[in-house]
Every structure is written in C-alpha cells, then in structure tokens.
A and B are shown apart, each in its own frame.
Chain A
C-alpha cells in the first residue's frame, strides 16, 4: 500500500519557517492558557487576574520559544533526511525526533544527550505509529465496493 505524502505542506526549505511559526504560536498560546490558569490558581483571591497576567507574561514566551526551537530543528532535520534518503516515510520523522532531542540536550554531556535522543525517537515513533493506524482506519471506510448488479431475469429459452 503506497504511503501518500502530505501534499498540503509547502516544499522543503520554506516549510521550516512555517513550522517554526506554527510551533511558536502553539507554545505561546498554550503556554498563555496554562500559565494563566496556574498563575490565577496560585494567587490570593483579590489578585487572581494580575497574578495570572504576570505568570503568563513571564512564562508563555519562553514556552513558545522552546516549542519554536524544537519544531524548527525537527523540521530542518526532517528536510535534511528527506534530501539525504530521497524518500518520504515515517523513518524520516523518527530520525529527526532522535536528532532534535539529542542536539537540544547536547550541552549536558553525551550520556544525557543519548538518553534524550532515544526518548525523542520513541516519542516520534509513537506519534507516527498512531498516524499510520488512524490513516489505515480511515482508509478502510473508503474501500472500493463492487457495484451491486440488479437482478435480471434469465432469458426465456425456446
């Protein structure tokens, strides 16, 4: 069964910036919600809104930046693997997750970096596996059915 590539994504060098921006947006907005609620919960009753605001102002951009770096590096490695292997399949994503997590933990020493890389690869493998499973489930619904022929009376024989 041929794996169809996602044709809604832009071609490879340019998609890195799109992924950067999308990851940053996800991290910043998600972080805004998360740290806003956390800040509101951790503040005294009269100060909930300023507390939420201060918390999200401090933390949400950082989370957005972390997501952006992760997404941008992942997309860069993904494009690199596609260019190297000249193939598009889930192994590109898994290897990119491995490399991204490894590079981001590189300053902590080789052992920690290798563990991080392995975790990143496993994480991406889980995501890709879920994606393949879901696409198989959805494709099953579009299985071509042979048309139902109407019942024709056999010709009367003389």
Chain B
C-alpha cells in the first residue's frame, strides 16, 4: 500500500482497506490479548515496574496517629500542645481506669449482701470513690509536668530528656509543697526519677 504524505498532495485520494487486510479467522482476542512491548510505545516506558523507579513514599508507615509524620516514634506528637492535651488525657483515663479497677475489686470483696442490686451498688460506690481520686491526681501531675516541660523547653530553646527530669522534679515538689520541705523534696525526687525513666526510655525505644 503506498503511503502518500498528506501535506504534499493538493487533492486527497481515498484510501480503501485492501482485500488482504481482512482475515475472517480474526477474533477480538487475537489483538486484545497479544503482549505488547511498552518500550516501543514511549521512550520512558520501562522506568516503572520491577527494578525500575519506585514511587517515593511521602509518609512513614508509623501509622495514622496524629502527628505521626512529624514527631516520629511510638508516641507521635506535634509539639507542646499535643503533649499537653493527649498526655493529660491519656494519663487521666489511665488513672481513672486503674483506680476504677481497684475500687471494683474492693467493692466486690466487701459487699454486705450477695444480692445483685446491692453488689452492683457497692461496686459502683467503690469505683466512684477510688477512680476519680487517682485519675484527678494523675491528671494534675501530667498537666503540671507537660506545662513545666514545655516552658523549660521554650526557655532553653531545644527539647532534651534533661528537661523532662527537671520538669518532673519541679512537678513533684510543687505537688507536695504544702506538706513541708522534706515531703516536697522526696516527692520531687521520685517524680524526677519517673520522668527521667519516661523520657530516656522513649528516646531509647525510638532508636
């Protein structure tokens, strides 16, 4: 079949399909399923696929926790406000649950009668007596710790596990400050140690 360059011609000859192009044994699958070579279609066609270019992964697989792409690690966080709200919230709910569990067992053991309603009432009383006290105290400690930690970090300019130890010490001291100097000092020491374990433990587990 002769190919005529369209731009060269003044008039256009209609191009009919020749008789030899028709093959009655052709089916749709004969041209649909044939393997094609993508390299003949486009110069950059072979880049993807096995051994070729991989998609750049923009996000870590650390999960979909808020702040995961910035804080990194087990407990992602985007800064002091995240620490304050999530830290206080998680600490409060943990304290509430543990205190509630303690109250639950206490109520279950010391119930005066095996009747269900009285047992339920005793258990609920125990839970609402123990749970909120421990939860509130834990929440206050977490609130003070995160606030002091954020303040120290902002004053120093960078965030260190050492900040956490200092923040823990200050928190414990302030918390027990009305019980006298010795109580404040020992509480500060205990809280500083706990905060240090938490901060250095977090750093160790991240590495």
| Chain B interfacial positions (CB closer than 8 Å to A) | 64-66, 82, 84-90, 92-93, 96, 124, 132, 135-137, 139-140, 142-143, 178
| Structural contact, B139 and A64, CB atoms closer than 8 A | yes
Contact between A20 and B92, CB atoms less than 8 A apart: yes
Residues of B within 8 A of A14 (CB): 65-66, 86
> What's the minimum C-beta distance from B63 to chain A, rounded to whole angstroms?
11
- Taking a contact as CB atoms under 8 Å apart, the answer to whether A61 and B139 are in contact is yes
* A27–chain B nearest beta-carbon distance, Å: 9
Given that A24-B92, A107-B124 are known contacts, is A18 also in contact with B86, CB under 8 Å in the complex? yes
For A18, A24, A64, which residue has the most chain B Cβ atoms within 10 angstroms? A24
B178 touches A72 (CB 8 A): no
- A25-B136 CB under 8 A given contacts A11-B66, A20-B92, A72-B93: no
A residues with a Cβ closer than 8 A to B are 10-11, 14-22, 24-25, 28-29, 53-54, 57, 60-62, 64-65, 68, 72, 107
Nearest 10 A/B pairs, CB to CB: A21-B89, A20-B89, A21-B88, A61-B136, A21-B85, A17-B89, A10-B66, A65-B136, A18-B85, A22-B85
A20 CB contacts on chain B under 8 angstroms: 85, 88-90, 92-93
Give Cα A108–Cα B23 distance, bound, in whole angstroms: 88
Contact of B90 among A17, A54, A60 (CB under 8 A): A17
User: Is A28 touching B93 in the complex (CB atoms < 8 A)?
Assistant: no
Specify which of B64, B65, B89, B178 lies most central, judged by the most chain A CB atoms within 10 Å of its CB: B89
Shortest distance in angstroms between A64's beta carbon and chain B's nearest beta carbon?
A: 6
Residues of chain A contacted by B136 (CB below 8 angstroms): 61-62, 64-65
Q: Please name all residues of chain A whose beta carbon is closer than 8 Å to the beta carbon of B137 when the two chains form the complex.
A: 61
- Give chain A nearest CB distance to B117 CB in angstroms: 12
Q: Is the CB of A65 within 8 A of B86?
A: no
Taking CB atoms, residues of chain B closer than 8 Å to A18 are: 66, 82, 85-86, 89
Ordered by A's residue number, 29 sampled pairs between the chains whose C-beta atoms are within 8 Å are A11-B66, A14-B65, A14-B66, A15-B66, A17-B86, A17-B90, A18-B66, A18-B85, A18-B86, A19-B85, A20-B88, A20-B90, A21-B86, A21-B87, A21-B89, A22-B84, A22-B88, A25-B84, A28-B139, A54-B178, A60-B140, A61-B136, A61-B139, A61-B140, A64-B139, A64-B143, A65-B136, A68-B92, A68-B139
